[in-house]
Amino acid sequence: MRFSGFRVLKEGLTGNKGWTPHWRDPDPKPEYDVVIIGGGGHGLSTAYYLAKEHGLTNIAVLEKGYIGGGNVGRNTTIVRANYFLDGNSEFYSHSLKLWEGLEQDLNYNVMHSQRGLINLFHSDGQRDAFARRGNAMINQGDDAVLLDRAGVEKILPYLDFDNGRFPIYGGLYHPRGGTARHDAVAWGYARGADQRGVDLLQNCEVTGIDIEGGVVNGVQTTRGAIRARKVAMVVAGRSSQVAAMAGMRVPVESHVLQAFVTEGLKPVIDHVISFGMGHFYISQSDKGGLVFGGDIDMYASYAARGNLPIVEHVMEAGMTLMPMIGKAKVLRSWGGIMDMTPDGSPVIDKTHIDGLYLNCGWNYGGFKAVPASGNCFAHLIAQDRYHPEATGFQLDRFRTGYGVIDEEGTGAQHNLH
Ligand SMILES: Cc1cc2nc3c(=O)[nH]c(=O)nc-3n(C[C@H](O)[C@H](O)[C@H](O)COP(=O)(O)OP(=O)(O)OC[C@H]3O[C@@H](n4cnc5c(N)ncnc54)[C@H](O)[C@@H]3O)c2cc1C
């Protein structure tokens, strides 16, 4: 089933009877070439690119819940390529290019909207840091414009520019940044993978990883044992638990991150705005809700919901930046489990066990990475060689201390990234 304007019109006129399910609901086969643990954005995109670019179709994605129920369906949907350090910057640049062709590639409307992202600065020092970051982005081939206060005022007139503590000096504008509809991304990749023969097995929790003589040969699941030549762990916030099934201790701490959405409002915020001093970011969804978030809850947890101090902090930051937000009513809030690494950058690597691969450490920025992560991880799994845009994400950097990609400059503390 292909989507097109003609198809929508035809179905609309004929009672919408021709739509079919987006993916099959198969039973597990006893054996696959590749088993991917985790049906989030990264697991699904890995399966999709394995099938599309490497011709591997005897693949299963094992998801303990339902497709899109993890972080991929819980984020604030910001997509950007404004990273500074080598290792990150070429990877996120690669990802943004994939985003720009994603809807055509998947034949699926993921509502990718390049409405522009503005990171505000509030001191001369911050302006210098953003000027440097902007130059790095331009050198990488991406786009960045340094706006002074008048430049920001022109596009975002409703901000409080003269706040006593955080007066707005200007902003770094990234016009190609924006948002995408998060669960549509999961559904689009799921559908694309399924169409190429990948089995998506929901309600299939992996409970053990079978290893013999240093070689992986399958997994134990709640739907029975499944043999596999290669196994990929792509479970975001559950990475430590799943890696422990293979006897591995990974440098990941799981922390809660919350997000909030207001009632639907008329269009008011037509960019993504990020307020570094208060750690607050906001955009408006196509349904009209203001979607916003802030920092993680700052304690390790596997609960997919947070606590009130951060709720208060995020609301305060919002009111500080744009007092008008106080009139909006918050409809819902929720949390997701973040896989935080000591340098704030991810892992896309093989492990010391033959045939076992690891993709994790997305901190709270892994949604924008979904296309490149799957693309580069599929390359690694299929060819046992690193993709040229993802050579910096090796696990060993945390053991040796060489090659850490500390984008935030906050050192080796998980909850500070
Ligand atoms: C509130 C919030 C806001 C965010 N905002 C942004 C943002 O604006 N921009 C951005 O780029 N990123 C953002 N992120 C981060 C981003 O959502 C994540 O980094 C990314 O989605 C993680 O990768 P994933 O999609 O594969 O994870 P998930 O969707 O969590 O996928 C992992 C899957 O593994 C499954 N699983 C776990 N254990 C097992 C098992 N034993 N067996 C089988 N399956 C298992 C889980 O059920 C889950 O579905 C945000 C996250 C949150 C929570």
The per-residue pLDDT for range 31-62, each reduced to its tens digit, is: 999 999 999 999 999 999 999 999 999 999 99
What pLDDT digit, counting tens, does each position of 3-18 carry?
999 999 999 999 999 9
Q: Give residue for tokens 């490497």.
A: 54
Q: Is the pLDDT score of 402 beyond 90?
A: yes
Is 159 within 8 Å of 169 (Cβ atoms)? Answer: no
Round to whole Å and give the CA distance between 237 and 363: 9
Measured in Å, residue 18 CA sits from the centre of ligand 1 at 32
- Tell which atom from ligand 1 comes closest to the C-alpha of 77: 8
Mean pLDDT for 123-135 is 97
- Assessment of whether the complete model's pTM goes beyond 0.85: yes
Q: Is the pLDDT score of 326 beyond 90?
A: yes
Dihedral, CA of residue 50, residue 54, residue 56 and residue 60, to nearest 10: 0
The predicted structure's pLDDT at residue 136: 97
Measured in Å, residue 72 CA sits from the centre of ligand 1 at 5
The predicted structure's pLDDT at residue 250: 97
Mean pLDDT for 217-230 is 98
Measured in Å, residue 170 CA sits from the centre of ligand 1 at 32
Q: Is the pLDDT score of 277 beyond 90?
A: no
Q: Is the pLDDT score of 185 beyond 90?
A: yes
> 26 pLDDT band (50/70/90 cuts)?
very high
Measured in Å, residue 282 CA sits from the centre of ligand 1 at 19
The predicted structure's pLDDT at residue 278: 83
Average pLDDT, the chain: 96
Q: Is the pLDDT score of 347 beyond 90?
A: yes
Mean pLDDT for 192-214 is 98
- Tell which atom from ligand 1 comes closest to the C-alpha of 256: 53
Round to whole Å and give the CA distance between 159 and 345: 31
| Pocket of ligand 1, beta carbon within 6 A | 37-43, 62-65, 69-72, 74-78, 205-206, 234-238, 242, 257-259, 293, 336, 362, 364-368
- Least reliable range by pLDDT among 172-176, 219-223, 265-269, 304-308: 304-308
Is 257 within 8 Å of 336 (Cβ atoms)? Answer: yes
Measured in Å, residue 1 CA sits from the centre of ligand 1 at 28
What pLDDT digit, counting tens, does each position of 283-321 carry?
999 999 999 999 999 999 999 889 999 999 999 999 999
Round to whole Å and give the CA distance between 118 and 173: 4
Measured in Å, residue 235 CA sits from the centre of ligand 1 at 7
Residue minimizing CA distance to atom 49 of ligand 1: 70
